[in-house]
Every structure is written in C-alpha cells, then in structure tokens.
Amino acid sequence: MSAARTAPRDGGPASAEDALDRAWREHWARLLAALVARYRRPDLAEDALADAFAAAARTWPSDGVPDNPAGWLRTAAGRRVLDRLRAEAVALRKEPLMVVEERSRPGPQDPGGEPDDGAHVPDERLRLVFACCHPALAPEARAALTLRFVAGLGVPDIARLFLVPEATMAARVTRAKKRLAASGIPFSVPPPGRLDERLDVVATVLYLVFTAGYAPGTGPDLVRVGLAGEAIRLVRLLDELLPGRPVVRALLALLVLQHARRDARATADGTLVLLAEQDRTLWHADEITVGLAVLASVPDDADGLARDYLLQARVAAEHATAPTAALTDWRAVAGHYAELEERSGSPVVRLARAVAVAEADGPQEGLALLDGLDAALPHHHRLPAVRAELLSRAGRDDEALAAFELAIERCANAAERAHLEGRRRALRGDGAPGGT
C-alpha cells in the first residue's frame, strides 16, 4: 500500500470501501480486545470502536486510506474512549458531595505504552472470550456478547442466530454489556485450577461463532469465511493454551473438517451446492489431513460435550474421506447421528439422521424418521426442504412440491432459497434441473 502515501486519493471511494471492509474483518476483534484490555470498559470500547469505523467511512473516501488502517482506527477509538472517560469524570466532580481527593488509582488518562494493535498479544481475544463467557453472565448473554465483541457481529445477525426478535437481542446485548462493565468480571484467562470448568461454555460459544460464519441465515453470502476462520483461529489458540483437552481437540477437528469444504459449498454467484453435488476437488485436502489427525488424537472414551463434538467430527470425517457422495459410508454416518440423537434428543440431529438413513436404506425409512418433528421445528425451513427432497425421490411429486413451497416460504437465506426454488422448478419440469 505504498501508493497510499504518495497519492492519498489513489483508488478513490471504491478502494476506501474495500479497505474499510477488510479492516472490519481483520481488525475489529483485535482492536476491541486491545481497547478493553487497556481501559477495562467494554461498553465504552465497543461504542468508541463503532464510532471510529463510522468516522473512517466518512473520511477515507475523500482523504484516502491511511497507510496503517488498524493504527488509524485504534487511535481514533482510543481518543473517543478517553473523551467519554473525561466527560464521566467531569460529571461526577460537578456533584459537590462526591468531590474526593485524587487517589493513586489511574485517572482518565491514557495509561501510555507503545501503540498496540494487539498483534503481539496473541491471546488477548481469548481473554475477551473468557470474560464474555463468565459464569456470572446469563448463559444466553455469553454467546451474544462473544458474537458482538469477539466476532463483531451485528445485533440483527445475532438475533437470527438465536431465533429471537431483534429488539429482544438488542436489549439483551445492552444489558449484558453494562453488566460486563460493572460487575467486576475479570478480563483474564482463569487460573489453571479454574480453567477446565469454564472450557465447556467457551467451546460452546466458539462453535456458535463458527456456525454464524458458516451459515449466517440472512444476507447474500452463504459462507462468511472470515468469521468461520476466526472461530477456528480462536479454538486453535485455546488448544495451544490448554493442550490435550478432549473438548477442544474434538471441536477443532470438527471445525477444520467442515471448513475444508467451504470453497465447494456455493458457486461464484452465491448459489448453494449441496454436499452430494459439491466438486470434491475444491475441498482443501491439506486441511482435511490436519482435521483427521486432530480427530485421531481425541480419546475414544471422551464424554460430555467432547463426545458430542467427537461424534459430529466423525460424521464430517466420513464425508471428507468419501470419494463420492454415493460411496459415503452412510450407515456409519447414520450410526453416529443415532448416538448423538440418543444423547441430545435434538430434533435437528434427528433431521440429519433421517437424511443419512434415507441414503443408506431408502427415502421411505428417512421419511419415517421425520414424523413428529413438525411440532419441535415449527419455523425451520430445513425440515420441509428435507421432506421435499425425500418425497421427490420416493416419486411423490405433488407432496414434494407442497413441501418445497413451505421451505421456500420459511427460508431467510437468499442462497439457500435460490437453491430450493431451483429444485422446485426442476420438479415441475419448467426449467433446467436445479441443483444438479
């Protein structure tokens, strides 16, 4: 980016937008973690960073993209935090009864030190994760905070992920943010004796972050590779910090194996490609090798959450090592899902199991497993989508069409809906066969 120094306007507004987009993806979490670590005020830090990005959006298109976008944003955000701290201090001093002598405690000035974009503190974000996942926060607040603070996700996306209205999630995030700032929750990795008990919740939350990146539900992008990759990076950090923990190893194997398929999951124009139809040469073979090696290191007798992840990782491994969809060991996949369903009683797992059983034993057996799921998954578009697919294979076209209609109506993701619409067209026979 040396051109930026000699020609500030080089590239114009379009490149400023790109730079801002890249800065958000690459630096949001790191900058926020650095601000929180420095000022211990997560509420102010988040507002200040959002303000800094807004200022960048205003000024970069006309003034040019700075040489060091992360440094620019850090400086701008830090200045805003200090402004707010000074304003708060002044407000308190105006209260006559509150006047107290200056204490040795650091006041609202910059604690100093070298400019810090967080790069040299590899686990800063991990500290933020542990703070966001603190047991003193309500369980539903932990994941929401992590997604907002560590992943930089917007409230609408978080709301969709948790299947709650946007206003509910906005209130929840605001409340949690205040609580995080005021309740004395430390911004540190817990001491060794306390680390394991906090691990399950951290693992759960990081899996959610990955899920958010993998299938965000709204918007045009099917895969937010950056967010999913960030989740994997955080799990790797956790694995380095706490070597050999089954729950971390199993989760890492699961995420790496799933993520290895990312480039085959959608076409260039964003159309969803089902697993069976994916070009397997696009799968990252090197990452699959890594994922399988991590999976092999998970003990066979792993229990609790580690077992859930282990079973899911074994499913991912079956797919990753099958030369074609038809040659997949569907019986093994169905077996893993059966154990998972027994452990969790989850209707979503049953849905996945039905697909595997249909592949192994035929569509009728799969359809039978869908019975009774409608009450448990009333708004889920995948249930009618799977049912439509199996009905179509069983030759029950009219019922299949009706199920596709319902799935399309419920589906909020543009890429997935386009796929469903293609399947419906193919079934009606009024267009090129979709999804093949």
Partner 1 sequence: MRFMLLLHEDEQVWARASDAERAEYARRHEAFAATVRERGAIVAGEALSTVAAATTVRHDGDAVLVTEGPFAETVEQLGGFYVVDLPDLDAVVEAVALLPRYAVEVRPVVDADAP
Site of interaction with partner 1 (CB under 8 A): 39, 41, 85, 88-89, 92, 95, 98, 100, 102-103, 105-108, 134, 136, 182-186, 188, 190, 194
Instruction: Output the smallest distance, CB 193 to partner 1, in A.
Output: 10
Which is nearer to partner 1, 8 or 190 (by Cβ)? 190
Q: How far is the CB of 108 from partner 1 (least distance, A)?
A: 4
Closest distance to partner 1 from the beta carbon of 90 (Å): 12
Nearest of 259, 209, 263, 214 to residue 238 by alpha carbon: 209
Give me the least distance between CB of 145 and partner 1, in Å please. Answer: 15
* Beta carbons of 330 and 360 less than 8 angstroms apart: yes
Q: Which of 15, 9, 10 is nearest to 63 (CA)?
A: 9
Could you tell me what percentage of the chain is helix, strand and coil, using 3-state DSSP and rounding each to the nearest 5? 70, 0, 30
Phi-psi region of 11 (alpha: psi -120 to 50; beta: other; left: phi over 0): left
Query: Angle at the Cα of 242 (from 237 to 243), degrees rounded to 5?
Result: 95
Cβ nearer to partner 1, comparing 105 with 379: 105
For partner 1, the closer of residues 141 and 253 by Cβ is 141
- Minimal distance, residue 146 CB to partner 1, in Å: 18
Q: Give 85 or 332: the residue with its C-beta nearer to partner 1.
A: 85
Alpha helices, H only, 215-260: 225-241, 246-259
User: Minimum CB separation from partner 1 for residue 412, in Å?
Assistant: 38
Nearer to partner 1, 88 or 374 (CB): 88
Q: How far is the CB of 9 from partner 1 (least distance, A)?
A: 39
* Structure token pair of residue 375: 């009450």
User: Which tokens is 400 given?
Assistant: 């299949």
Nearer of residues 88 and 277 to partner 1, judged by Cβ: 88
Residues 6 or more apart whose Cβ sits within 8 Å of residue 427:
392, 397, 400, 401, 404
185 three-state secondary structure: coil
Supply the DSSP symbol for 98.
G
**Closer by beta carbon to partner 1, 83 or else 365:** 83
| Residue placing its CB nearer to partner 1 in the complex, 81 or 251 | 81
**Of 101 and 269, CB closest to partner 1:** 101
Find out whether 201 and 132 touch, Cβ atoms under 8 Å.
no
**Cβ 349 vs Cβ 337: under 8 Å:** yes
Smallest distance, partner 1 to C-beta of residue 131, A = 10
Are 206 and 231 contacting, i.e. CB atoms less than 8 angstroms apart? yes
Q: Residue 152 CB, nearest distance to partner 1 (Å)?
A: 25
CA proximity to 146, closest of 127, 120, 164, 163:
127
Place of tokens 């000022």: 39
Write phi, then psi, for 266 (nearest 5 degrees).
Answer: -145, 150
Amino acid at 310: L
